[in-house]
């Protein structure tokens, strides 16, 4: 054999081996039946089976199953791709995540008094104070505290209570009704009473009374000291006042009532 024949023979042999390798299955393995084509790869790529594989029933069945699986996979991938490519719907916001509820123990709130009740009580108190005036005060009122501070009958003599005739009754039955400035507060030795001296600045009864007056109080006065302005109502007997007002705030309404009052005729009964 000549060299030319040897070259052609070698070339034909390599071409035949390359053809067989090209039709080998995945991994260079030839699938069962010897067709040289993988049914799954054919289904993925869409290539038809070679004539030899179409004659193999097993290869045909495997190919049909692969085509069905690939079609289903493509359908699912299409659904996913469409969902990812669609923009979010306009006006739809994700539902807010509710915050965890806080549990807090609240102290019970005190009950509020109705405003009408408070105002009504205040109005009644003011009306009673105006209507009562001087005549309704207890004898021996101790200025700011309003507590009785009169002495006993033995200490104060035949003491009379303030008559319930208002300002006219006080003017008619009192021994002294006067305004003045406290000049001294001195304790009576051996007792718990105090002697209060004042310079009279205005005398309602008598109209032309002395320029100086004095009275006594039991206990230590809470705020009565030298320099205080007072209005004192003294009974006919005794040294303890029937009524005592300290400071302009207490004196002013009583001054107005006394200035407008006139003793009744005939005069009230005084004891």
178 plus 76 within the same structural domain: no
Based on the fold, state whether residues 45 and 145 are members of the same structural domain. Answer: no
CA 8 to chain centre: 107
Residue 111 lies in a domain: no
* Residue 121 lies inside a defined structural domain of this protein: no
Written as one string, the DSSP assignment of 38-87 is -HHHHHHHTPPPPHHHHT-HHHHHHHHHHHHHHHHHHHHHHHHHHHHHSP
Q: Are residues 65 and 152 in the same domain?
A: no
**pLDDT above 80: residue 177:** yes
Q: What is the radius of gyration, based on Cα positions, of the chain?
A: 61
Q: Is residue 33 part of a domain?
A: yes
Per-residue confidence (pLDDT) for residue 94, from 0 to 100 = 59
Q: Are residues 148 and 242 in the same domain?
A: yes
Q: 174 is in which domain, residue-wise?
A: 131-260
Contact 162, 126 (CB under 8 A): no
Q: Are residues 239 and 140 in the same domain?
A: yes
More confident of the two residues 85 and 223: 85
Question: Collapsing DSSP states into helix, strand and coil, what is residue 129?
Answer: helix
146 vs 69, 138, 162, 220, 238, CA distance in Å?
Answer: 106, 9, 15, 14, 20
Decide if 107 is inside a domain.
no
DSSP-based three-state secondary structure for 184: strand
Encoded tokens for 256: 């107005």
262 pLDDT band, cuts 50/70/90, is low
Q: Is residue 26 part of a domain?
A: yes
Give the range among 80-94, 156-170, 251-265 with minimum mean pLDDT: 156-170
Interval 204-229 mean pLDDT: 86
Q: 247 and 149 in one domain? A: yes
pLDDT digits (tens, 9 = 90+) for 38-56: 777 887 888 887 877 777 8
- If asked whether residues 139 and 255 sit together in one domain, one would say yes
Any domain includes 1: no
| 269 vs 251, more confident | 251
Q: Domain tally for the chain?
A: 2
Domain assignment present for residue 17? The answer is no
CB contact set of 40 (below 8 Å; sequence gap of 6+):
26, 62, 66
154 shares its domain with 39: no
**Residues 244 and 157 occupy one common structural domain:** yes
Q: pLDDT digit string (tens) for 22-34?
A: 444 444 444 444 4
Q: Is there a contact between 177 and 242 (Cβ–Cβ < 8 Å)?
A: no
Q: What percent of the chain has pLDDT over 70?
A: 49
Torsion, CA 179, CA 185, CA 187, CA 193, rounded to 10: 30
Whether residues 147 and 67 fall in one domain: no
pLDDT tens, position by position, 137-148: 433 334 333 333
Indicate which CATH number applies to the domain containing 176: 2.40.50.100
pLDDT for res 95: 62
Evaluate whether residue 44 is within a structural domain: yes
pLDDT, residue 222, reads 67
Query: For position 47, what pLDDT does the model report?
Result: 82
Burial class (CB in 10 A: 0-12, 13-18, 19+), 44: middle
Q: What is the pLDDT of residue 64?
A: 85
CA distance 255 to 240: 21
């Amino acid at each position: 054999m000549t060299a030319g024949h040897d070259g052609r023979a070698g070339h034909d042999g390599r071409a035949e081996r390359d053809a067989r390798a090209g039709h080998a299955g995945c991994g260079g393995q030839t699938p069962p039946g010897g067709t040289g084509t993988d049914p799954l790869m054919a289904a993925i790529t869409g290539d038809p089976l070679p004539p030899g594989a179409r004659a193999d029933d097993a290869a045909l069945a495997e190919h049909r199953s692969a085509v069905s699986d690939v079609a289903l996979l493509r359908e699912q991938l299409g659904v996913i791709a469409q969902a990812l490519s669609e923009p979010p719907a306009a006006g739809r916001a994700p539902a807010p995540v509710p915050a965890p509820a806080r549990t807090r123990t609240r102290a019970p709130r005190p009950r509020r008094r109705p405003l009408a009740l408070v105002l009504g009580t205040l109005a009644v108190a003011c009306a009673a104070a105006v209507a009562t005036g001087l005549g309704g005060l207890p004898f021996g009122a101790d200025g700011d505290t309003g507590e009785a501070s009169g002495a006993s009958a033995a200490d104060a003599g035949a003491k009379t209570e303030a008559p319930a005739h208002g300002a006219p009754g006080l003017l008619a039955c009192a021994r002294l009704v006067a305004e003045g400035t406290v000049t001294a507060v001195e304790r009576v030795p051996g007792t718990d009473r105090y002697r209060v001296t004042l310079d009279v600045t205005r005398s309602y009864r008598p109209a032309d009374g002395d320029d100086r007056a004095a009275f006594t109080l039991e206990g230590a006065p809470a705020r009565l000291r030298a320099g205080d302005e007072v209005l004192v109502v003294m009974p006919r007997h005794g040294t303890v006042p029937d009524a005592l007002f300290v400071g302009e705030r207490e004196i002013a309404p009583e001054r107005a009532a006394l200035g407008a009052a006139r003793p009744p005729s005939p005069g009230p009964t005084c004891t």
